[in-house]
Structure 1
């Protein structure tokens, strides 16, 4: 296993009167795709938002490449090399696809070679390059949201439920796109509810329940163990063919 680029150590997060994360600990190895799985309400999105500093950890540490980023402001965390694609997609509907991508390239002009690579992942973005993002379908908006995260090289990409609500054909396209992103050496922490997509993509997995990590290990081991899937997630792969 590669050295972790991200490590969470006993992270706790409170939002108002609610104690959401209860000592979350796991590693994200560099150059791999790590999955964060769990039932609805387990704390997965809160974990991503805490990593990005959008919600502040009340205890524990978030280490990025050995550096403690727990208390850093979100812009500084982004500048350190993290990109976050929220479940809401957060594209600018009144701006064109091109304008969305230009805004995402914070360090300077869009690199043409990298843009060609992104178009290879998501060909629809080339077709709609000068169109307002608001006219895109839900799946195309999701493609744009992920493309924004890839607009310039990042050391870690956090993605929250990229296949949620997508038609099966679009899910297959998304899985293939993430395969190519993995092959390019990108490091990804992915929250995903589609277990088939998760099992096709994941190198490592951390399973959350009630605000803590209850299982971690290779994704292939979880994918091969229907009883463990049932115990941890309330499902088995065989039930979701």
Structure 2
């Protein structure tokens, strides 16, 4: 098993009066793709936001590459090499695709080789380079959101439900893109409801319920065990769903 790049130990997060995360223990191995699964309301998005410092943990440790980042400001966490793609994608709809990408490259002009690589991942972005982001389809917007997150090299990519509401053909395109990202040795923590996507790209998996991680292991093992899927996720899942 690769060394963990990210480790959460006993993380609690409160949002107002609500105690959302109730002792999350989570390990994300370096260089792989970890799926974070669970029912709606289990605490998956809160976990990503707590890692990114958008919501501050009230207790526990968030350790990235051996250093504690819990309690740091979001901008400082991003400087450690962590990117976050929220469910709402966080795009500037009135700006062009190009302008969105320029803003994401905070260290200066984008490296042309890296931009060519991103265009290979998401060819539609080259086609619509000078169009406003608001004119893109839902799938194209999701591609732009991910492209923004990797405009510069990142050590860890956090992605929240990238396939939500997308057509199956777009889901397949995103699967190929994430497989390519894995080959680039980018470590990814991915929240997803599409079990076909999870099976296709996941190396390891953590399943959340009621603010805790209740299962961890290989994604392939969960994919093969329908009884375990039923117990953990409350659904009879298959790879076509």
- TM-score, normalised to structure 2's length? 0.98
Distance in 1 between residues matched to 2:240 and 2:230, nearest whole Å: 12
Contact (CA 8 Å) 2:83, 2:157: kept in 1 or not? yes
Cα distance, 1:235 vs structure 2: 1.8
Cα distance, 1:239 vs structure 2: 8.1
Whether 2:195 is the aligned partner of 1:195: answer yes
Distance in 1 between residues matched to 2:24 and 2:239, nearest whole Å: 29
Cα distance, 1:215 vs structure 2: 0.1
Distance in 2 between residues matched to 1:82 and 1:147, nearest whole Å: 14
Aligned partner of 2:56 in structure 1 is: 56
Cα distance, 1:204 vs structure 2: 0.4
Distance in 2 between residues matched to 1:205 and 1:28, nearest whole Å: 9
Aligned partner of 2:68 in structure 1 is: 68
Aligned partner of 1:133 in structure 2 is: 133
Change (3 A) 1:198 1:239: closer
Q: Deviations over 1:143-190 (max 9, x none)?
A: 000000110000100000000000010001111110111111111000
Whether 2:237 is the aligned partner of 1:237: answer yes
Q: Deviations over 1:76-115 (max 9, x none)?
A: 0000100000000010001010010011011121010010
Distance in 2 between residues matched to 1:138 and 1:185, nearest whole Å: 27
Change (3 A) 1:171 1:156: same
C-alpha RMSD of matched pairs (Å): 0.9
Change (3 A) 1:178 1:42: same
Whether 2:20 is the aligned partner of 1:25: answer no
Distance in 2 between residues matched to 1:204 and 1:80, nearest whole Å: 23
Distance in 1 between residues matched to 2:161 and 2:7, nearest whole Å: 21
Distance in 2 between residues matched to 1:124 and 1:238, nearest whole Å: 30
- TM-score, normalised to structure 1's length? 0.98
Distance in 2 between residues matched to 1:94 and 1:85, nearest whole Å: 19
Cα distance, 1:237 vs structure 2: 3.0
